[in-house]
């Protein structure tokens, strides 16, 4: 095993932290999803060959932009039948590029006690700085108490949990959505988790269409609940979300692109067209993420 990951980022110098960046392929060429899902996702997001950049190219991409990036994959083996690309490898390789990359782990929630043990191992041996869940892909209701020991382990480790919420491009346009159920990604299920684990920092990924109002309410009500803005071009953001980000949620909203399915430059160009207050933009692009990651208080 390579060196355990430690931050090497100059957080005072970087312009932004992209809180939502996918690693879709590992060093053996194994991809995060089966061919049918990958093709449907590429069609939905109008992405192509750039969909599976290597860890090295991701690091170069963000370094060129003076940005850092949270990188991860999703372990949905039980629900999908597809072995994910290598979670541990992401952490190992991120340690090689720790001036720009921040690794998150992923565990299959249906693996029970093994998932809890893996949480501890990923934190203690690999140094991951958070965990990514995709309830629709992983086929689970986040507020089911069977999964609470996993959250307890993450809470004990003092790192955040990032949950996909709302619509997903994974399975979009396929018969039955490839069996993927959107209801698992209703953010109201996370309201239970946020209430039952008050010291677990929860980030709701993406504008949670069609449940944006619920997402705003949860982030307003729960001190430990945040949201990221990935997965949508900012020009399509619901107006109530833009208003909340500019006012009552100015310290709860994080920049995220969903790279590589949405390009960082395009996201930032579209975001610049929004009527965001000058004093709010630095919070969204960097300061809020630093608190969520435990770098600042």
> What is the block-wise mean pLDDT of the chain (297 residues), using blocks of 10 residues?
88 98 81 69 62 89 98 95 92 97 98 98 98 98 98 98 95 91 98 98 98 98 98 97 98 97 95 97 98 95
In degrees, rounded to 5, the angle at the alpha carbon of residue 172 between the alpha carbons of residues 26 and 37 is 30
The pLDDT of residue 33: 66
| Chain centroid to CA 233 | 16
CB distance 120 to 158 below 8 Å: no
Rounded distance between C-alpha atoms, residue 194 and residue 4, angstroms:
29
Q: What residue has token string 């958070």?
A: 130
Integer distance in angstroms from the first to the last C-alpha of the chain? 32
Contacts of 206 (CB under 8 A, 6+ apart): 20, 164, 165, 166, 167, 227, 228, 229, 230, 231, 232, 256, 258
β-strands 202-205, 225-228 pairing: parallel
The pLDDT of residue 273: 97
The pLDDT of residue 46: 66
Of 178, 179, 208, 175, residue with least CA distance to 191: 208
Q: Residue 8: how many CB atoms within 10 A of its CB?
A: 14
- Indicate the DSSP class of residue 232: S
- Indicate the DSSP class of residue 126: T
**Which pair of structure tokens corresponds to residue 278?**
């000058």
The pLDDT of residue 283: 98
**Which pair of structure tokens corresponds to residue 208?**
């949670």
The pLDDT of residue 27: 74
In degrees, rounded to 5, the angle at the alpha carbon of residue 87 between the alpha carbons of residues 86 and 92 is 95
CB distance 169 to 205 below 8 Å: no
**Which pair of structure tokens corresponds to residue 235?**
């020009």
Give the start-to-end residue ranges of the domains of the chain: 16-292
CB distance 204 to 190 below 8 Å: yes
CATH of 16-292, one of 3.90.1010.10, 3.20.20.140, 3.30.470.10, 3.40.1550.20: 3.20.20.140
* Sheet with strand 101-103: strands edge to edge: 16-22, 67-72, 101-103
Of 142, 243, 246, 115, residue with least CA distance to 200: 142
The pLDDT of residue 125: 97
Number of helical H runs and strand E runs in the chain: 13, 8
């Amino acid at each position: 095993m390579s060196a355990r990951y430690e931050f090497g980022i100059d957080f005072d110098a970087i312009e932004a932290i992209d809180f939502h960046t996918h690693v879709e392929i590992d060093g053996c060429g194994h991809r995060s999803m089966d061919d049918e899902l990958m093709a449907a996702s590429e069609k939905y997001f109008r992405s192509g060959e750039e969909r599976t950049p290597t860890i090295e190219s991701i690091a170069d991409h963000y370094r060129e932009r003076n940005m850092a990036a949270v990188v991860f994959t999703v372990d949905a083996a039980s629900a999908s039948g597809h072995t994910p690309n290598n979670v541990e490898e992401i952490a190992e390789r991120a340690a090689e590029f720790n001036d720009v990359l921040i690794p998150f782990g992923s565990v299959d929630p249906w693996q029970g006690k093994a998932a809890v043990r893996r949480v501890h191992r990923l934190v203690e041996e690999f140094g991951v700085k958070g965990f990514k869940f995709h309830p629709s892909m992983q086929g689970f209701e986040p507020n089911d108490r069977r999964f609470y020991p996993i959250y307890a382990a993450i809470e004990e480790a003092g790192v955040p949990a990032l949950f996909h919420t709302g619509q997903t491009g994974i399975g979009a346009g396929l018969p039955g959505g490839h069996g993927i159920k959107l209801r698992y990604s209703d953010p109201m299920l996370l309201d239970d988790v946020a209430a039952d684990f008050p010291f677990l920092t929860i980030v709701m990924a993406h504008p949670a269409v069609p449940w944006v109002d619920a997402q705003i309410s949860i982030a307003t009500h729960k001190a430990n609940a945040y949201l990221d803005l990935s997965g949508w071009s900012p020009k399509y953001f619901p107006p109530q979300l833009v208003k909340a980000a500019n006012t009552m949620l100015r310290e709860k909203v994080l920049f995220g692109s969903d790279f590589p399915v949405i390009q960082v430059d395009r996201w930032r160009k579209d975001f610049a067209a929004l009527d965001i207050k000058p004093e709010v933009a630095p919070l969204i692009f960097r300061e809020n993420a630093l608190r969520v990651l435990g770098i600042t208080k």
